[in-house]
Amino acid sequence: MKILVLNSGSSSVKYQLWDTPDKGVLAKGLVSRIGIDDPLHQHKVNDREIEFAPDEPINHEKAIQLLLDALVSPKHGVIARIDEIDAVGHRVVHGGEKFSDSALITPEVIEAIKECIPLAPLHNPPNLMGIIACEKVLDVPQVAIFDTAFHQTMEPYAYIYALPYEFYDEYKIRRYGFHGTSHYYVAHQAAKMLGKRIEELKIITAHLGNGASITAVKNGKCIDTSMGLTPLEGLVMGTRCGDIDPAIVLFIMEQKNIDIKATNNLLNKKSGLLGISGATNDLRDVLKASANGVYRAKLALDVYCYRIRKYIGAYTAAMGGVDVLVFTAGIGENASPIRKKAVEGLEFAGLILDDDKNNRTVGIPGDISAKDASARILVIPTNEELVIATETERIVNENLN
């Protein structure tokens, strides 16, 4: 089945054309600077990248038309006709409590995604724009794959905040969690790598990218995850603070006399590795600065890794043990010093690194645990687009065949 995978953001649309189940990615690309000057379209087939610069501002519908044109172009296309595309899979950030599974897009599903806008005001509207634009230019089934769906198996004691319960009833304030497709993918890959059934494993998955979250997966089901109502909670991230005393927010607003928007910006865009280091949110640069003896860079790494270690400990307790720890995403897949520091002192839980294997495993899958350790530590490159493609195929087959 040929499936177009779309990730529509406010000013960009990322795409991949998949041929499932065996042929993989035929082409991919990014249309960026939507709605502003100087739009850009980068299209990649195999290792060849072509850039187009549309000469006037574009909207989401035009962006999708451009990427479809590129896919059928005689020069750098990979299909002869648009109607070779069998379905479209959309990444949708927030599915609230309505979606614990991917869903075939219908008018009711679009309404339900709209109802989740207050929970993800920056993400769901552009996701919807992608869906609506596609409906205009393609007459094929479309499927929504939600970042929150995998976490819907959490028990109320893991997702309810200790606020007046009416806030849950009235506003649906609770823990939702994000990066669900990534946690789902690497947890299943981990079971495969170990030749075990996921139903018999206690897995902790650490997705460490610019955004970062960590999830406890017991017997194949998410039982807890570090992101909350929004992606701000939990681990220290590139520019997000993760867990803090909520009273700090009130204190800062009062002391600095800043409004909700500025405070939101401070916590989401100015904090994390960037905030502590004062220089950068890019982990590679923080590592370099720390190696050069810059105190705040070293401190940022210490705080970053200590937070991960605490969560691993908490989730080990929550699951009554741990069989596998998985590292994924930009930092998890590549940054061996972070992996080493994050698991320091966790020998009591059976999590022991092999330094050589850890150092050698950069950007590739591998088992980096010491031979005799009772738990495994794995590095698994994530592949959210693969999950979106296979989920789309599954939902289309279930609903339409």
The residues binding ligand ADP (CB under 6 A) are 209-211, 238, 282-284, 329-331, 334-335
Q: What angle do CA 371, 335, 228 make, to 5 degrees?
A: 100
CB of 96 to ligand ADP, least distance (A): 22
Q: Strands 87-92 and 2-8: what pairing?
A: parallel
Quote the tokens at residue 22: 């065996």
Quote the tokens at residue 388: 């979106």
| Annotated active-site residue in 83, 147, 169, 354 | 147
Q: Which is nearer to ligand ADP, 172 or 270 (CB)?
A: 270
CB of 328 to ligand ADP, least distance (A): 8
Residue, CB closest to ligand ADP: 330
Q: Which is nearer to ligand ADP, 2 or 14 (CB)?
A: 14
Q: Which is nearer to ligand ADP, 187 or 283 (CB)?
A: 283
CB of 267 to ligand ADP, least distance (A): 17
Residue in 108, 112, 147, 113 with CA at minimum distance from that of residue 130: 113
CB of 237 to ligand ADP, least distance (A): 8
User: How many CB atoms are closer than 10 A to CB 344?
Assistant: 12
Q: 53 and 38 in contact (C-beta within 8 Å)?
A: yes
147 is catalytic: yes
Q: Mind giving me the DSSP string for 139-197?
A: -S-EEEEESSGGGGG--HHHH--SS-THHHHHH--S---S-HHHHHHHHHHHHHHHT--
Q: Which is nearer to ligand ADP, 210 or 374 (CB)?
A: 210
CB of 82 to ligand ADP, least distance (A): 29
Q: Which is nearer to ligand ADP, 71 or 273 (CB)?
A: 273
Quote the tokens at residue 320: 């009554």
Active-site positions read: 147
